[in-house]
Structures are given as structure tokens and as C-alpha cells.
Structure 1
Amino acid sequence: MSNDAYGQESAALPAGVGGYAPAGFGPLVRAFATLIGNRRDAGGALAVYRHGEPLAHFWIGSAGDRPWNANTAPIVFSATKGVTATVIHRLADRGLIDYQAPVAEYWPRFAAHGKGAITVADVLTHRAGLSSLSAVADTAAEALDHELMEDRLALSRPDRMLGTPTYHALTYGWLLAGIARGVTGRSMSELIRSEVTDPLGIDGIHLGRPPADSSTEYAQLAGAHMSFAAHPLAAGFLAKVGFRLPGPLGAAARCLFVPGLDAILDGEDPPVLNTEMPAGNGVATAAGLAKMYAALADGVTVDGSPFLSPSTHATIRRIQTYRLDHALFYLPMMWHLGYHSLPVPGARHAFGHIGLGGSFGWVDPQSGLSVAYVHNRLDQILLPYDQFAMGWLLPLVLSSVRASREPRRRADRAAA
């Protein structure tokens, strides 16, 4: 869509940036172009919705062999968790799931080895004591078998972190998929379509590879990925020493590493696209992810019915635990049910979920704003820089929204 369609109220986009943005968004667009532009084979997009309506959507760069466009979608890694949690909330909204009920009520096999008291809320807030990937998978090939992972988690034993927030980096998705399968008999991929994308009219969020009839175009990952983990010395250290380290280093190694896991991201057709990893292999456009979060600010479906009831909206906005997360280097994640707090000045009640590399979805229920930022660079050297880009993108979004309203305010005052 050309920005010219927005007339005098639209911002002039810098060279190379496609899409549209209202007047007042210039600083945000320029900062975004600086962040994403001039990256080899890489690109990204940012979308903003207000009260369920698109306000801005712009992009720059490439998806490997083609320019980025409105339908380009990279893997958003842990930003997928917010989509998976939204499925659970839709089921809970209809009375199919009670957050405080034991998981085993919906998934009887899960009661094995003393897990009978673990609740759905414990899983949604990373307190189930099942964060370790290495406890259920010996190889990357096993981690790509999502039904095997669900089954092994059901029969596994919780660790000593049961009850303490400890980021379930990959196991989170299979745990929620097992709960949802027990309630509906359907896979998480099917449920994302039936509970999220179809009701909201979104063709921009998929679990793994987008189907052939979708307009979504997968953007191959750029950068060096996490190649350090493939080095024999690093892999040997992680396998033999890393798992035994105390504190957050050991917890992070246990929740993320099995031999060969780095290779599932490689190539034009990476193996990670061929599985259901509901904690990490979502493929999403910026507009698709922003539209989903717009529905978490009292949004409605395409037929005008409420996406979630007011009571469910109130529940997901509440912080469930203020305890520091023991696998995320004691960061104060302030876990909601499936999301974490992402407050910025002027939006202290906002929440969402960020993924590896910095892609994120975000909503501020009070203002009705939702934002999504996606890109396809995953580079171990630049990862810290990319991971925390939201720290200055979100404040710029809020200031841009305020600036975009000022001309109208002036016109209203002049008319009065």
C-alpha cells in the first residue's frame, strides 16, 4: 500500500521504506529504518493498531532474495508464546479450561510422578518445574517431534524449581498444546487457526510453515544464527558442564540446549518449519501479530462478537507473580497468564511477549494501542542490541501517536 493514499495527514517515508504512517511518525520511522536498514539479506516491519484499526504499518530491507513487503513473515521465536496463550484464553473463556484447575483434569497422563497438583496457571506463569528441554529430549530430532515431546512431558518428573518462575523456553508450548489437545482433541496448529486467526480475519500468523494457499511469505533467517553452539568445544561444554552450573546459567542451558538444536534453523527450508513448536516457531507478519494483540484490548471478531469476555480480559491483564525469573537471569518478568509485562512511560499496564532476537507483540489496554515488530536477523554478535530494541521503539511509538494527534487538536481548537 502506498503512503500517498493517506494524503496530507501521512508522513513522508524515507527512501527504501514501504507502507504507511500518519503525520507525526517521522522519528519512529527513521529510527526503525536505522535499526533494520543496511543489513545483508535482512529486513523487518513494524505495525501499530489503535482501537482495533490499523494506524501504521511500514517495512524495509529484504527477505533474502526478495524485498520485504506487507505479507513477509519471519520466525518470531518466543513471541509465539503470546499466540499460544491466547488460544488457551479462548478455551477458558468458553468454560473449557479453568486456570486454577490441575492440568491432569484435562490431560490425565500428566499426573504421573507427583504432578497432579500443578495447575494451568502454573504452566502459563512458568512455575510448573518442567523447564528443562534436556530432561525430555536427547537430540534435536526428538525435539522436532511435538507429540513425542507432549508425551514425555506428561510422564516426566518436576524439578526442584516447581513453584518458582523459571522460563520454560521450549517446553511451555508443548505443555499448553497437551492441555488444549486434552480439551479439544485438536493440535495447537489447528487451534491457532480456529481460535485466533480465523475469528480475527488474520492471514499472517502460522505455527511453522505457512500453507500454500496463504498470502504469508516466509522470510529466511539472516545472520550467523547461534553457530557458536555448533562448535564442538561449545557443544561439549554445554552438554557436560553447562547443565550442572548453578543459578541462571545452568537453568538457561537446560531449557534451551540439546545437541544439534542450532541446525534446525539453518537453510532456506529449515527443519523448524516442519513441526509444531508452540513456544518458538510461529511465523508472523507485523500486521498479523499487532491485530491479534488489538483483540486483547477488548477487541471483537470479524462478525462483531467479543473476542474475549470482560472477565477474561480483566484476568489476563493482572500480574500473577512478581518473583524474579530464575532462568532469565533474575529479570523481573512480572508474568501474566501467558504474557509478561512490557511497561513503558505512559503505558504501565501494557503487556505482551518478546522473542529471541527482539521480535515482539504488545498491547496497552488503557489506550487501545497494540504494536508488533518483526525481523529476520538472528546473529549472536548483535543479539544483545537486537534483543532490547523494544526499549526505545515502544517509547517512540507512544510519542509518535501523541504527535499524530496534535494537528487534529490544533484544527479542532481553530474551528472552535
Structure 2
Amino acid sequence: MELPDNIAALYHRCIQGAATPQEHAEFLQYLQQPGHEDILREVLRRGLREHKPLTDLPPEREDVVWQAIMTATGATPAATPVYRMTWLRMAAAACIAVLLGIGGYTYYRSLERRPMAVQTPLAPGGNKAILTLGNGKVITLDSISNGQIAGENGVVKQNNGKLAYAADPSGAVTMHVLTIPRGGQYQLQLSDGTEVWLNSASYIRYPNRFDDKERSVEISGEAYLRVAKNATKPFIVVSKGQRIEVLGTEFNLMAYPDEAAIKTTLINGAIRVIQQREQKILKPGQQAAVTNGAPGIVITTPDLEEVLAWKEGKFRFYNTDIATIMRQVARWYDVEIVYQGQLPGEEFYGAIPKSENATQILDVLELTHKVHFEIKGKKIIVIPGPRKN
């Protein structure tokens, strides 16, 4: 159905974050009026269609989402179909409650907080890294001042969590290791100008400068690489037995030891992925997956916003199971995850900034009524089903 022109305009101002408090109130008042249930449904459906990562949500999922929103807010279809729920709460439930997306995370801040078993902040991660030099010396980068690192020509710690190398032809080639702990992230510029963004619980092993033959690094965990072009010297990335060959390109590599597959996603340029005797050349937008214990390289076309969300400072879930979500939570917040009972087989949808405390992402997951949590110190216990009041 078509929304009335004035309501359509208000809808777009709300989802774009441009509405004034008075406009929000006007929108709310209109949606609360009896007889406007179809318009409320249309607002939700537009949110489904217009806001990634849920643009492909099938129609049958809409009814499930609709019922979940009413359940989460205590409304019933026969009595008060969502009338007692404020527009901001509805938008938050629809957008962030890992149910659908209707306008962004900004609405989430108006969502009423519900008590966890133990309210612990569980602060988000930040710029943390440990540098191991060729002579074995270990430097905790977040504990030293910015500037050139003593005894290492051309190695500089810069602002905003970045370590940069400049080629020093006069010095010996030594291997360095940059390790990102759980709860950390860091950026690295190699001596050839290649830029590397490293996610939590990752490491990269690389030379302080590349020799005349090739550029080769080893990576574990997750990294985004913007490789400097050099047609005469290929760039090689080795990870868990997989080999990636590039000349100049941008791609994301996810190769955590606790994940079932190595996933290499090409953003632009071209790369060759080699696994044992098989090799595939990727096109931009494609992803190569190598699953542990399974032969072959599987090529798919993933949602790039989901793949790159970590680099953009977000958690983004699209058709994601709870175990995968909790592995990301464990790495970023440096917590232990414990499961109690049978895990729900549901798929979760939504997005939330990584700058928020862990309790806030757990809150929105709980709104699905498929799972709830208890926090004990640095341990998160995952429990199936809704929280019992």
C-alpha cells in the first residue's frame, strides 16, 4: 500500500535521523490511532526493503518478525497491536533487535534496558598490539609513546593505532610479528606501502623490509589488506596452509583457528587463492572459502557490508547463527563464552557499533526471545529461550 504523503515524508525523516522531537511525536500519534494497523505494517515492510542487510528477507519472515516484535513488547494482536509501544521502541525492536532493519542504530539508545543476571560493563576493545622484533624483544605498543621505536630505523608508532615501516636498504632483513590480543585492533603499514588492518585475536608475521624476490607475509585471524602495486614483485599471504597471490588489490582474509573455514573476499583487483593442488582466481565481490577437512575451494558472492563490518567498527549479522555471533563477541570483549543447554537454530539479523559495551549487544539479542544471557565477571553464559521474569 502507499503511505499518505505527509506520513511517508515523516517516515523518511525518522529513518534518516533528521526528524525533530515534534515530528517523532506526530508520527507516533498517527501510528497509534485505531485503524492504522496496515500502515504500521507498511512502515515495517519498507524498513525491510530499504535497509541492508535485510533486503532479501523473504515475505514469510515478515510475519515471524511482526509476532516477535509484539512478543518483545508485551502486546497482543487482539488487544493492543503495538499501540502501547513507543515509535522509538518499535523502531529499535525492528531495527536492532536482530529482527530487521528500520533506520539504524540511533533508535536503539531509546530502548528500555532490561537487567542481566549481573550487570557488568564489559567494555569494548581498542587499539592494542604487541610487537615482537627480530631479536626477540617484545614491545607493547599501547604502552609506549608515539614516534620512532628505539633501535629500529624507519619503524614508527603513529597516532590512532598505527605502526608504519619505511624501507631501510642499509639494514639487515629481520622478521617481525605484530600480535593483536583479544579486545584489540591495529593498523600496519609495511615497508612497501601496503596497508593492513588487523582484527582482534590476530597476528601477522612480516619482514621489516622486503628483499628483491617477493613480498611475503603470514597471517592468522582476520585482516584487511590494501596491497601496494608492484608488477615485478608479487605479494604473497600464507594462512593455515592457504596461499594468496596478488599484485595490487584490496581484500579481506578471515582465518581464525576456531572458525570452520578460511574466507578470502576480494574487494577490487584480482587475487589467486591456492589450496594444495587447487587454485581459483577471484573477481571483485567474490569470496573463496576453504573448509577444514573438506576438499576444494568454494566461490560465493557474500554481503560485503557484513564481511567488512569489523573494519568499519560494527557488528553486522545477516542470517548468522548464535555461535558465530558469540565468537565475535568473545574476541572483541575478551570474554569467555559458556553454553547452557541446546543452542537455538535461529538465524539472527542486525547491526550495532563495536564501541558499545557487551551488555548492549546482548540486550538486543535477548529481544528475539530465542536466547538470554548471564554475565559473571569475564564470562558470558548463553541460555536458550526467553528470560523468565
Q: Same fold (TM over 0.5)?
A: no
Q: Which has the higher helix share?
A: 1
**Structure possessing the higher radius of gyration over alpha carbons:** 2
Q: Normalising by structure 2, what TM-score?
A: 0.25
Q: Which has the higher strand share?
A: 2
Q: Normalising by structure 1, what TM-score?
A: 0.24
- Structure number with greater CO (CA < 8 Å, separation at least 6) is 1
